[in-house]
């Protein structure tokens, strides 16, 4: 049965932040993201696929697992998928999920001797946020804290760039970073910020067993208020003529160093 105009409109509206916030829902597209969604503890509310998707082995396998996750799985036409999809070259599969709320206090107060958290302070590019989530997932970060001035986690471009990483670790959104940093320090965390003129080179820092690392905005870096609260200002030494280093790359460089030191 074709989707009604009202249903198509409802689904299309979820590509906009206002409606995602109101409905507490979001859409994931493509075989990889839907696979990760199905394996996660996120609630899959409904899913839509085209007949072409079932012609591929990965599509058939995904369909079998998807129907075990939700009974609301519907075949739609390619033209209907075009109306709903955010991507131009869609793969014929998408799912509507319930948003999950993670609380920063729970991350900070976990009863564990070692905790490795990352915060984003005003990181505004969706591709950067998504790739940084993916990087944090790769290096086994215990949780991510998105400051109020960072881009929304459920932005479609962010979701695609995470490559499913957002399903693997807790991520708290809309967080008051200065307040959170103050709480973290009271709970025994050492706070590190990255900045161009930091006095401590990232691979010479003494990373504590409870560490919170903050990465800042693409243009102006970490805010002055957050800098003042930090215990250590980290720098990545420049060897060439580049004006700056992409924040996503900086994230990977620093987290790789921390993980190496932790594992020694």
Give me the pLDDT at residue 88, please.
67
Question: Do residues 33 and 157 share a domain?
Answer: no
pTM higher than 0.85, yes or no? yes
CATH code at position 254: 3.40.1280.10
27-59 confidence digits (pLDDT tens): 999 999 999 999 999 999 999 999 988 888 888
For residue 90, which of 139, 34, 45 has the smallest C-alpha distance? 34
Question: Do residues 165 and 111 share a domain?
Answer: yes
pLDDT beyond 70 at 111:
no
Domain limit, last residue, from 98, 120, 145: 98
Question: Do residues 29 and 139 share a domain?
Answer: no
Question: Do residues 59 and 84 share a domain?
Answer: yes
Confidence band for 261, pLDDT divided at 50, 70 and 90:
confident
35: Cβ contacts below 8 Å, ≥ 6 apart = 62, 65, 164
CATH code at position 40: 3.30.1330.30
Question: Do residues 11 and 84 share a domain?
Answer: yes
Alpha-carbon torsion, ordered 103, 109, 114, 118, to 10 deg: 30
Number of domains making up the chain: 2
Question: Do residues 150 and 111 share a domain?
Answer: yes
Domain limit, last residue, from 65, 98, 131: 98
187-223 confidence digits (pLDDT tens): 999 999 998 777 778 888 888 899 999 999 988 889 9
Question: Do residues 165 and 65 share a domain?
Answer: no
Question: Do residues 185 and 226 share a domain?
Answer: yes
Q: Tell me which residue range forms the domain holding 72.
A: 5-98
Furthest CA-CA distance within the chain: 64
Question: Do residues 82 and 115 share a domain?
Answer: no
Alpha-carbon torsion, ordered 52, 33, 25, 21, to 10 deg: -120
Domain limit, last residue, from 49, 77, 98: 98
For residue 146, which of 116, 124, 131 has the smallest C-alpha distance? 124
Residues facing 74 on adjacent strands: 48
């Amino acid at each position: 049965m074709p989707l009604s105009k009202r249903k198509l409109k409802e689904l299309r509206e979820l590509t906009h932040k206002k409606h995602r916030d109101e409905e507490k829902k979001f859409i994931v597209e493509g075989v990889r993201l839907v696979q990760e969604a199905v394996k996660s503890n996120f609630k899959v509310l409904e899913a839509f696929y085209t007949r072409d998707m079932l012609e591929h082995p990965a599509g058939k396998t995904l369909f079998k697992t998807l129907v075990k996750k939700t009974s609301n799985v519907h075949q739609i036409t390619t033209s209907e998928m075009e109306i709903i999809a955010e991507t131009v070259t869609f793969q014929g599969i998408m799912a509507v999920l319930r948003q999950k709320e993670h609380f920063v206090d729970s991350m900070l107060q976990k009863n564990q001797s070692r905790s490795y958290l990352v915060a984003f302070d005003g990181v505004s590019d969706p591709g950067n946020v998504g790739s940084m989530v993916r990087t944090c997932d790769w290096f086994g970060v215990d949780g991510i804290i998105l400051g109020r001035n960072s881009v929304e986690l459920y932005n479609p471009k962010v979701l695609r760039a995470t490559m499913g990483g957002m399903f693997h670790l807790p991520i708290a959104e809309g967080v008051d970073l200065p307040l959170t940093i103050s709480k973290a320090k009271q709970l025994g965390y050492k706070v590190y910020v990255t900045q161009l003129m930091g006095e401590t080179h990232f691979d010479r820092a003494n990373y504590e067993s409870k560490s919170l690392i903050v990465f800042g905005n693409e243009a102006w870096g970490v805010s002055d208020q957050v800098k003042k609260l930090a215990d250590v200002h980290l720098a990545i030494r420049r060897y060439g003529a580049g004006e700056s280093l992409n924040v996503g790359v900086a994230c990977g460089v620093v987290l790789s160093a921390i993980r190496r030191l932790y594992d020694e």
